[in-house]
């Protein structure tokens, strides 16, 4: 049976992240989680210069000196964390302990050096406007993942209609929710507008104003609401 990891974007703000390993991989992972608002603890015998410098810049980063082979110390840190990241390479024994402890305490775990046994995987992130993507290759090649990310982002940059539709549909959804329109009707309106050929043709032509007027017409006919004022007609 083929088991596939489910792609999920997670809000880690305020979460406790434990990173085992103070090398360059540990530095990269620590920086990414800090940028996302998490509190990070790095546990290692040694720390690279970039990581030490990072600890001076980010008050949310804690450096803990210790040996990952010390299972007692590792267990205490895992128990106090939400997500565990092994930033070690070729560390089968330590990763095995991390897996066992993380499962015991029901923590999510990421093994940067063992894609075959990792529970979670961090994709290579990219964006085009407000559209975010993450490419994941199950550890086969991060270089290919980065090039795929760049190609996808470049393609999306050329799809001006997608960005227009995203902007207008997001605005429409916000007003409908604020106006108290029931969720079933909101979904129906969303689908109707998205599939509407006039709306799509105006978006493809870059006519944002005209596309919005079409949204206004459809919503008025289906919900009796004038989106320009957000009032029930």
pTM of the model: 0.87
Domain boundaries, the chain: 16-122, 123-158, 160-232
Query: Taking the CB of residue 147, how many other CB atoms lie within 10 A of it?
Result: 13
Burial code (b: 16+ CB inside 10 Å, e: under 16) for 198-233 equals ebbebbeeeebeebbbbbbebbeeebebebeeeeee
pLDDT in tens, 136-150: 999 899 999 999 999
53-92: buried (b, 16+ CB within 10 Å) or exposed (e) per residue? ebbeeeeebebeeeebeeeeebeebbeebebbbbbbeebe
Residue-wise pLDDT tens for the chain (233 aa)?
455 788 999 999 999 999 999 999 999 999 999 999 999 999 999 999 999 999 999 999 999 999 999 999 999 999 999 999 999 999 999 999 999 999 999 999 999 999 999 999 999 999 999 999 999 999 899 999 999 999 999 999 999 999 999 999 999 999 999 999 999 999 999 999 999 999 999 999 999 999 999 999 999 999 999 988 754 43
So what's the pLDDT on residue 232? Answer: 42
Which residue shows structure tokens 């289906």? 222
**pLDDT value of position 3:** 59
Contact (CB, 8 A) for 20 and 74: yes
pLDDT (0 to 100) of residue 71: 95
- By DSSP bridging, strand 83-86 and strand 108-111 are parallel
Residue 5: what pLDDT? 85
With CA atoms as reference, report the closest residue to 70 among 34, 32, 20, 120. Answer: 20
CA 104 → CA 22, 24, 76, distances in Å?
Answer: 24, 28, 12
CATH class as words, domain 16-122: alpha beta
């Amino acid at each position: 049976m083929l088991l596939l990891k489910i792609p999920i974007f997670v809000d880690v703000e305020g979460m406790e992240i434990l990173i085992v390993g103070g090398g360059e991989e540990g530095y990269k992972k620590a920086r990414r989680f800090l940028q996302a608002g998490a509190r990070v603890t790095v546990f290692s015998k040694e720390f690279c210069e970039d990581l030490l410098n990072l600890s001076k810049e980010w008050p949310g980063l804690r450096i803990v000196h210790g040996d990952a082979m010390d299972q007692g110390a590792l267990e205490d840190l895992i128990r106090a964390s939400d997500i565990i990241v092994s930033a070690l390479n070729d560390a089968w024994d330590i990763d095995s302990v991390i897996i066992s402890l993380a499962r015991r305490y029901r923590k999510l775990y990421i093994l940067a050096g063992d894609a075959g046994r990792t529970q979670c995987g961090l994709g290579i992130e990219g964006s085009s406007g407000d559209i975010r993507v993450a490419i994941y290759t199950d550890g086969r090649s991060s270089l290919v993942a980065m090039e795929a990310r760049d190609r996808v982002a470049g393609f999306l940059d050329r799809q001006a209609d997608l960005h227009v539709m995203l902007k207008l549909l997001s605005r429409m959804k916000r007003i409908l929710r604020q106006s108290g329109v029931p969720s079933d009707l909101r979904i129906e309106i969303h689908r109707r507008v998205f599939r509407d050929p006039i709306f799509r043709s105006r978006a493809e032509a870059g006519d944002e104003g005209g596309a919005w007027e079409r949204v206004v017409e459809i919503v008025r006919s289906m919900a009796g609401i004038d989106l320009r004022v957000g009032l029930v007609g």
